[in-house]
Amino acid sequence: MVKHTPAGALADGPGHSAGARGYAAVPVPVDVAQRALRLEALLGNPEDPANPYGTAALAAAAGMRGTAPRTAAPEGITDKSAAWPDAAQFVRGLRPLLRRDLGLADAWVLHPLRHEPAHALARLLGSAALLAATGGVLHTTAAIVDGRARHDPAARQWLPVLAAVFADLLACEALTTVALRGLAPADDAGALPVAATGYLVPHLVSDLVADLELVLQESEFGPDSTERRVLAALEGHRSTAGVDGRAALVAQQQLVRAPSLRAQPAALPELFRLAGPAPGAGATRCTEALLAVLPDTAPHCFGTDDGDGMATHLTQVGRRLATEQRHVHRALRAEATADPDGAPARALADRLALVLQASAVLGVARAAAQSGEGFLGRPEWALLALRRIGRRLGLPLPVSTDSPAHASLAVWTELAERVQQRVDCDLYATRLLW
């Protein structure tokens, strides 16, 4: 359940204040919260029809030109000085812009970063921007469905669909955020966590956007509605923002050619503790930590089952995915040596990316459970996300009559509460200014 205190004045300093905790369910450094709030205030109310950075104006501009204007970014938007604690917090501070419009994010941040040495950061920032913009559409769509479902039973058919989209978005954010938290200055775009993110996020978002478009269409929002135009603009900007199928293909080739690594037991647990400082340990240690999560899946990592069997079921799914990880890792190395451009190697790279995503989900959820971080630390979202990953892999998963349905309902309930309380659809549960 989402619970926030009002995001009022935020005290100066690098630590976490009560105001910063009110800004997001997962604590945020005060300076990052301040920068994000200033950026959101600068962008203005998205519902204001006179606002040039409003939802309607940006969607209309994309329809007329096919891309956002290359206007100069306000001062400080792309500042990567010591004021930003790490890459993950740099992206977190930019979330209001990334969420607002992918084209504007490309014009102000992504395009300039491509001309700098930090190519791995640019790749991850592109994925984060795509996820943030999709999360904005999910928030709008969930608000529509939540309102209709109160008096129209037919609208309730979309609740599990939107719960699944939410779980998938959180899973994509988990992988992206873990890659950002492990990022070191020397890492390039071919680093395994970076490549997995660059491959998987564009592919999965295509499916999620299709689901959101179907829900809007069936809710009687036509192609000329602002909501559908926002979706069309999101799709139109993906190529210029470097998060389309062509970019995913490059990342897939990098996955095939990534060096073989082994899991290191208990490696880098701080990588998954989102409220703590990022370790920034680099691609090798980040990959080792990801590979260690699934084999280390333990019963009771989410405490007791509370009588619903949810934590036990999650452990069973995690163990099944651990078996898949061992198989995929060995098979990919063999195929990559024999024929790195062949279809078997590319198919195994797809599976490795999904396994790494599952590791990120379980690692983040387990760390949040140990820290007592509410929804993120409960097993429901992780169970729904991991079951969907398992289905994409075509794995036979443990049978449960109740747990998947209970997980879906819990995830929808969280999403509906976030809509009602104006909280973002991100991992951190960030309060929205508008």
Q: Summarize pLDDT for 8-63 with one digit per residue, the tens.
A: 334 444 445 556 668 999 988 888 899 899 999 999 999 999 999 999 999 988 87
Q: Tell me, what's the pLDDT at 61?
A: 87
- pLDDT-derived band of residue 82, with 50, 70 and 90 as boundaries? very low
Q: Which amino acid does the sequence have at 290?
A: L
**Left if phi > 0, otherwise alpha if psi is -120 to 50, otherwise beta: which for 399?**
beta
N- to C-terminal Cα distance for the chain?
Answer: 21
* pLDDT greater than 60 at residue 156: yes
Cα separation, 114 vs 117, whole angstroms: 8
- pLDDT-derived band of residue 272, with 50, 70 and 90 as boundaries? very high
Percent of the chain clearing pLDDT 70 (strictly above):
86
Give the containing element (helix H, strand E) for 319: helix 310-338
Collapsed DSSP state (helix, strand, coil) of residue 102: helix
For 45, phi and psi rounded to 5 degrees? -65, 120
For 431, phi and psi rounded to 5 degrees? -70, 140
Query: Tens of pLDDT along 160-191?
Result: 999 999 999 999 999 999 999 999 888 888 89
Cα separation, 52 vs 286, whole angstroms: 41
Residue 291 near residue 321, CB atoms below 8 Å = no
- Beta bridge partner(s), residue 431: 423
Cα separation, 215 vs 434, whole angstroms: 24
- pLDDT-derived band of residue 373, with 50, 70 and 90 as boundaries? confident
DSSP 170-235: HHHHHHHHHHHHH--TT--TTSHHHHHHHHHHHHHHHHHHHHHHHHHHHTT--TTSHHHHHHHHHH
Angle between helices 379-393 and 343-371 (to 10 degrees): 170
For 24, phi and psi rounded to 5 degrees? -155, 150
Residue 290 near residue 359, CB atoms below 8 Å = yes
Q: Tell me, what's the pLDDT at 190?
A: 83
**Higher-pLDDT residue of 267, 224:** 224
- pLDDT-derived band of residue 64, with 50, 70 and 90 as boundaries? low
Where does 49-86 have alpha helices with state H?
Answer: 55-65
- The one-character DSSP state at 107 is I
- The one-character DSSP state at 156 is G
- pLDDT-derived band of residue 111, with 50, 70 and 90 as boundaries? confident
Collapsed DSSP state (helix, strand, coil) of residue 423: strand
**Higher-pLDDT residue of 185, 367:** 367
Q: Tell me, what's the pLDDT at 67?
A: 47
Query: Tens of pLDDT along 276-301?
Result: 999 988 989 999 999 999 998 765 66
Cα separation, 172 vs 204, whole angstroms: 8
The residue written with tokens 């037991």 in the block is 265
Task: Check: pTM over 0.85? Answer yes or no.
Answer: yes
397-409 average pLDDT score:
83
Cα separation, 357 vs 41, whole angstroms: 33
Neighbour tally for 327: CB within 10 Å = 12
Q: Tell me, what's the pLDDT at 7?
A: 37
For 112, phi and psi rounded to 5 degrees? -60, -35
DSSP 344-403: HHHHHHHHHHHHHHHHHHHHHHHHHHHHT-GGGGSHHHHHHHHHHHHHHHTPPPPP-SSH
Q: Tell me, what's the pLDDT at 79?
A: 59
Q: Tell me, what's the pLDDT at 14?
A: 45
- 79-98: b (≥16 Cβ within 10 Å) or e: eeeebbbbbbbbbbbbbbbb
Residue 100 near residue 46, CB atoms below 8 Å = yes
Q: Report the candidate in 197, 202, 199 with the shortest Cα–Cα distance to residue 244.
A: 202
CA-to-CA separations, 25 to 220, 221, 338, 417, in angstroms, rounded = 34, 32, 48, 13
* pLDDT greater than 50 at residue 195: yes
Say which residues have a Cβ less than 8 Å from residue 220's Cβ, sequence separation at least 6. none
Range from 106-120, 229-243, 266-280, 374-388 carrying the lowest mean pLDDT: 106-120
* pLDDT greater than 70 at residue 81: no
Residue 8 near residue 433, CB atoms below 8 Å = no
Residue 419: both structure tokens together: 């809509």
Query: Tens of pLDDT along 202-253?
Result: 999 999 999 999 999 999 999 999 999 999 999 999 999 999 999 999 999 9
56 burial (CB, 10 Å; 0-12 / 13-18 / 19+) is: middle
